[in-house]
Amino acid sequence: MAAALACLPGAPANISVCKVTQAQAAQQLALDIAQRLREAIAARSRAVLSVSGGKSPLALFEALRAQRLDWSRVVVTLVDERCVPALHVDSNALLVCTHLLQDQAAAARWVPMVSARTAPLPAPDDLARQANAALLATGAADVTVLGMGVDGHMASLFADATNLGAALDPASPDACMAMDLPTPPAHAPHARISQTLAQLLRSRASCTNLKPLLPSGFPYDTSPASGTGRSHCAH
């Protein structure tokens, strides 16, 4: 694998930025995350993995679920969630249960943000309070997997959220907030709850697997035709 990577110059010492194929990026990150989870289990007898929904992490989830480690000592949580029942087609919980919590990873303990399977649901603020309590009880993540939307947002920290300032407060004691979105994304027009920036920063490691977003011809071209992506891991 190392010979296939073209690591980009200029990155800080604690951040790896590598140009690889999307399949390589998913496999590389899965190996890295699995090792971090093993180290957390060895140090603290358990590990906490916090993951994003959306389409960007699907290949990573399918590579990660095949990794051999003591999944029974891993707690899996979400970075953010749509305010829909857990079995709704737009639910991040359904996506994680379908693509990650299978095979080896089926033994992990699952802590969803929205546990109700049917509507009606509590109000977003009530869902956020419940998720906040669950996240605080679970503790800081050992690894957080962040995706990125085409508009550059991570988690559900959208730029137009009216309470974005509170959600981005690095000193916030809250782990989760309901995001006030004047215009929810058209592809999934649901209210959102999200980990706060403060909670994301508590994670011992954070990883992203960025799908191609840049225009053709950009230096280190990541257009779909090139079949490349970028993997990042910070600790």
User: Cis bond leading into 215, ω under 30°?
Assistant: no
Residue carrying the six token digits 């690591």: 7
Q: What is the pLDDT of residues 118-148, one digit of tens each?
A: 999 999 999 999 999 999 999 999 999 998 8
Tell me the CA distances in angstroms from 216 to 7, 25, 232, one per residue in order: 20, 20, 21
User: What's residue 20's pLDDT?
Assistant: 74
Q: What one-character-per-residue DSSP string does 143-202 give?
A: EEEE---TTS--TT--TT-TTHHHHT-TT---SEEEE--SS--TTS---EEEE-HHHHHH
Q: Is the pLDDT of residue 111 over 60?
A: yes
Q: What is the pLDDT of residues 69-92, one digit of tens each?
A: 999 999 999 999 999 999 999 999
User: What's residue 214's pLDDT?
Assistant: 46
Structural domain boundaries in the chain: 25-148+204-211
Q: Is the pLDDT of residue 232 over 90?
A: no
Identify the top-confidence range among 11-15, 50-54, 193-197. Answer: 193-197
Report whether CATH 3.40.50.1360 matches the domain 25-148+204-211: yes
| Rg of the chain taking only CA atoms, in angstroms | 17
Q: Name which residue leads in pLDDT, 213 or 151.
A: 151
Assign 222 a pLDDT band (cuts: 50, 70, 90): very low
User: What's residue 66's pLDDT?
Assistant: 96
Residue closest to 209 by CA, chosen among 233, 191, 188: 233
3-state secondary structure of 25: helix
Q: Is the pLDDT of residue 207 over 50?
A: yes
